Structure 1
Amino acid sequence: VGIGGVGSWAAEALARSGVGEISLFDLDDVCITNTNRQVHAVEGAVGKAKVEEMAARIRAINPACVVHAVADFVTRETMAEYITEQLDGVIDCIDSVPAKAALIAWCKRRKIQIVTTGGAGGQVDPTQIQLADLNKTFNDPLAAKVRSTLRRDYGFSRTPGRTYSVPCVFSTEQLRYPKPDGTVCQAKGFVGEGVKLDCAGGFGAVMMVTASFGMAAAAKLVDKLVAGARRPAERGRSD
C-alpha cells in the first residue's frame, strides 16, 4: 500500500521472491522528482500511474504473477473495499499518519498480517535501519505519531513494554532537516509542520535508504507468509 520510494522496492522484492499475486494501491502518477528513489521512475514513465507502471514491471519480471493495480489511496473510507480477509499480508508504505494508523488497526482487528514502515526521509545511512515491534521503535517521528494515533483513536495499549505484534521497519539515524538556503541541519526548528519526503522543500531522500526500507519490509512479510504456509503442512504430518 503506497508505491513510492519504499513501496515500489517492496513490490519489486515480492515479485522477485515468487509471490504469485500482488495488489498495488496508490493514486499518484510518476513524477520526474521521483527519479532519485523510486524503481518505476524511468524514461517514458513520467505522468503515468505508479500502479500501472509497477504492474507492468512485475509482469515483465514474472509473467505468471497476478497483479491488481488499484489507482486509489487506501483511507478509512476505502479500507473496507480494498483491504479484505482475502489478502495474505499487507506492507504499509503510507506516509499519511491518519491513513497509516487506520490501516494498521483495520488489519489487526481482522487478523491480516501487516508490516509497517517508518519515515525514510532525511537519512543517508542504510546500516542504521532496524526492525522492531511498532511499540518499541525509537528516533522515528512518523512511527511515534502513528503510535500516538493508535492509542488515542483505536484503543491500542499505552504500556511502553507491550507489543502490538506489528513489525515496523525504522531507522535510528538522526534526521537531517532542510533549511531555507538548501543546506540541512539536525534542528527541527528549520521546518514547518507536515514536512514530507519530496524535492520541493521537504525531506530529502536517497534510494539506498528508501530501497532498504522496502527490502526489509518485504523480507519480513515473506518470512511471515512462509511460516504461515508451513504450519498447516507440519500439522498434517503430525496427525
Structure 2
Amino acid sequence: MNSRVAVIGVGGVGSWAVEALARSGIGHITMVDLDEICITNVNRQLHAMDGQIGRQKTDAMAERALAIHPRCDIRVVPKFFNEKSAAEILDEGFDAVIDAIDHTRHKTLLVAECHRRQIYAVTCGSAGGRRDPTRIRVTDLAYSGMDQMLLQLRRSLRNDHGFPKTPMGQKPPPFGIDAVYTDETPWYSQCDGTVSKDRPEDTTQRLSCTSGYGTVTHLIASFGFLAAGRVLDTLASRA
C-alpha cells in the first residue's frame, strides 16, 4: 500500500498505532515526537523495554516497524508538533494523520491544519485513569461526549478555527474528524491507597505517570488499534 500516513505523538497510543500500520503494509509512515523512552512508560508503551530506556521513541519504533515491514519507507521527525514545526511536517503531503498528542493547543492546531488541507485525520481522547476497553467509542469529533480533552478541542476549533457551532436546541453539525474516546469515567487514587470513581478534594491531581493513575496496556493499545483501523478503512474506501 503506497499511502502516506503520519502518526503525531509516538507514546502510548501512537506506538501501538504505528505497529498496526506497519503490520498492515502501509508503504510510508512518518513518526513525529521528541520524547525519549522513560522507565515510567513500561506499563503501556510498546517501545518501552529493557535496553530501550533513554532512546528516542521515534527511533525505537522506526527500528521495530522496519523489522516488521522492511520495505516500508519510514521517516522520523524528532520534533514536537507545534506552531513552528506544523508547516514543515504537514507539507510532506499525507493521505491520513493519527493525532496522538496530549497537549490541547497543539492538538487543536493539528486537527485544524489537517481539516484546512483536506487530510483525513483521526484524533484520540484521554485514556488516563480508565481501564475498560469495551467503553471505547469511535465517532465524529462533534459527538465525542464529555471527554475533557476533546471537549476543550471542540471548543477551540469552534472559537478559533471556524468549525461549526451548535444552533440552540439542535444537534451539533459534524466536524468531519473522527475521534477515538472512552465514555468511562476515570478512576482516582485516594489518600488511603485505594481507587475510586470519587474525585478527590485535591482537584489539582493529574492523571499521569508521576501522580494519580496513568493507564494500562490493554486500554491504550485499543485506542491505537482503533485509530489505525479507521485510517485503514478510510484508505481502503478510496482505493
With normalisation by structure 1, the TM-score equals 0.91
Show the 5 A alignment for 1:181-192: 181-192=192-203
Q: CA deviation at 1:190?
A: 4.0
Q: Report what 1:234 is aligned to.
A: none
Q: Is the Cα–Cα contact under 8 Å of residues 34 and 78 in structure 2 kept in the other structure?
A: yes
Show the 5 A alignment for 1:22-61: 22-61=29-68
Cα RMSD after superposing both structures: 1.5
Q: Report what 2:79 is aligned to.
A: 72
Show the 5 A alignment for 1:93-172: 93-159=100-166, 160-172=171-183
Letter in 1 for 2:209: C
Query: Which string of whole-angstrom CA distances, capped at 9 and with x for unpartnered residues, describes residues 128-177 of structure 1?
Result: 11101001011311111111111121121121420001000011111112
Letter in 2 for 1:203: Y
Q: CA deviation at 1:69?
A: 1.1
Letter in 2 for 1:170: Y
Task: Give the number of aligned pairs.
Answer: 228
**Is the aligned partner of 1:219 residue 2:229?**
yes
Q: Unaligned stretches of 5+ in structure 2? A: 1-7
Q: CA deviation at 1:86?
A: 1.4
Give the alignment partner of residue 189 of structure 2, picking from 172, 178, 196: 178
**Is the aligned partner of 1:89 residue 2:96?**
yes
- SS at the partner of 2:12? coil
- SS at the partner of 2:111? helix
With normalisation by structure 2, the TM-score equals 0.91
- SS at the partner of 1:24? strand
- Aligned in 2, Cα 1:43/1:113: closer, same or farther, shift over 3 Å? same
**Partners in 1 of 2:196 and 2:92 — Cα distance?**
44
Pick the structure with more helix per residue.
1
